[in-house]
Amino acid sequence: MADFGRSRRLSAVMGSNSGVSESSYQSFVLKRGVGDLVRPSWEHPTVFRILPGLNPDNIAEFDPWRLSMRQDDYGQWFYPVDVANVSCEANNKASRSWILKDPFDNSYNSMLNPLVLLRNAVKSAINQRLPYSINWLSLVQGGQGRGEELAGPAACWLIRCFLLEHAGKPCVPPRGFNEEDRTVYMMLKVSAVNALKRAMEQKKDNFRGDPSDIASHYVFGDPVGLEDGAYVTLFNREKDPRQNSAPSGGFNPFQQGGGRGGYGGDRQVKGYDCFLTKDYHGGSANLVEHANVVRSKVIEWHNAVHIPDNEEQVRYLEQVYRPYSDMLVFALDDAYGNILEQGLRREGLTKLGRMRPTEAAFTDIRPEAAQPQPVPVQAAAPVAPARPAASPFGAPAAPRAAEPVQPAASPFAAQGWPSNVVPAHRSSESVDSPTNTRGTDEAGSTVPSKLVTQNDVDAAMRLVAKARESMRGGAMPQPNSGN
């Protein structure tokens, strides 16, 4: 990768990342209207002319291919990024690609990136053989003729170029060259990047020129410069366009071993290879006459690429993996539960049985989503059992229905008190303490509550005495509350 660590390099790539661009690849790598994102063809050669980058210290000038002879000390003709490229067969083959982070932001925690969290959690669940993870297995295994749907980030280079041949078709004039054309951004993965670097880095044998002239050390000079540029041909290693079809029974180095890349035996290493040329079908790679056209196509990188924040990346994952709501909640709820779409989150929690990855029961840890917790109910202080309701005479009276049927008894007990009257001094309370009660008379009728005092007790004594006299005379007086 290029050495962009110096301050002059940082100044050219930091900036606003607003806007979204969606192409036929369902890609959000570029900002809206900036250009077309193109990937090299696998079945056919891809031919393009790389455009130089801008000097960050003076954007009116182009940056050279190399800044020094040090390894990977390149100018800004490319932009190194980590790109997500995910898809879902179960969701109508939905797919999204985007840049995970600013490559020069050292403060960004890549382990908290939504895609990184998702892949790590899914693989961990599968390794632990968690029951619900069986439905996610196909996403990280791939299949015949297709790669992983939940693929990990890929290290890529973005390169501005004029496109001369792609997918087996020539582009005349080169795509991206006309004024009305949008700039072409070629996205190369590791295999293609390494092939391109090998082709560019070929040095001259027994060089005797000016040591300070960096480009003169290399066979193709400055392959991105306006004057000393070159055409790049990128191709499948097994389909080198420079090779004619082999004679019947002839030797094919790409099948029988040998050749660049260390092929051997039946083992074939798939990937790209590359070569450079100074012309293409007789046309020169010199762009000096078209410097203004090139300048109109080249802008600062931070104005070209779109780097979404983590919340936007969560949205992309929701859009692609909507059928796997349980997977999204399982992996992302702890870090991004307040960002997840709430309907999807509820659905995922239901599928998981409200289980967290490490707990038996789910607990929402998000402060802003915390649910009101039940207030613990303290046990009330012990309350003494209520005394039975009292009769007008202060005697306890049990409910009539609960009273056992007793045989008829003398209206007078042996001690001379009525059978349903208890002396006031046997009560648990002082006879002077007012007590609000509701009792029943001897017939079971409800008697209004009244305050039982010592005067009431005395009146009751007098009533008992009168009752005794009346019994002797054969008459039973009626109670009189006024006595």
Rounded to whole angstroms, how far apart are CA atoms 160 and 52?
A: 8
Residues spanned by the domain of 452: 400-473
- Please check whether residue 183 lies inside any domain of the structure: yes
- Band (456; pLDDT cuts 50, 70, 90): low
pLDDT tens-digit readout, 321-362: 999 999 999 999 999 999 999 999 999 999 998 745 444 333
For residues 298 and 408, state if they share a domain. Answer: no
For residues 235 and 90, state if they share a domain. Answer: yes
- Please check whether residue 182 lies inside any domain of the structure: yes
Lowest mean pLDDT among 52-66, 94-108, 237-251: 237-251
Beta bridge partners of 280: 283
For residues 195 and 77, state if they share a domain. Answer: yes
- Give me the number of domains the chain comprises: 2
- Please check whether residue 320 lies inside any domain of the structure: no
How many residues are listed for the chain in this entry?
483
CATH number for 196 = 3.90.198
- Band (448; pLDDT cuts 50, 70, 90): very low
- Please check whether residue 280 lies inside any domain of the structure: yes
Nearest CA-CA partner of 80 in 28, 158, 177, 192: 158
pLDDT tens-digit readout, 397-419: 444 454 444 444 433 333 333 33
Q: What is the pLDDT of residue 147?
A: 85
- Please check whether residue 39 lies inside any domain of the structure: yes
- Please check whether residue 144 lies inside any domain of the structure: no
196 or 422: which leads in pLDDT:
196
- Please check whether residue 205 lies inside any domain of the structure: yes
Looking at the chain, the whole-number percentage of residues with pLDDT higher than 90 is 55
72: left (phi over 0), alpha (psi -120 to 50) or beta: left
Rounded to whole angstroms, how far apart are CA atoms 30 and 98?
A: 8
For residues 288 and 404, state if they share a domain. Answer: no
Mean pLDDT of 173-178: 96
pLDDT tens-digit readout, 144-161: 777 899 999 999 999 999
- Please check whether residue 262 lies inside any domain of the structure: no
CB-based contact 271:191 (threshold 8 Å):
yes
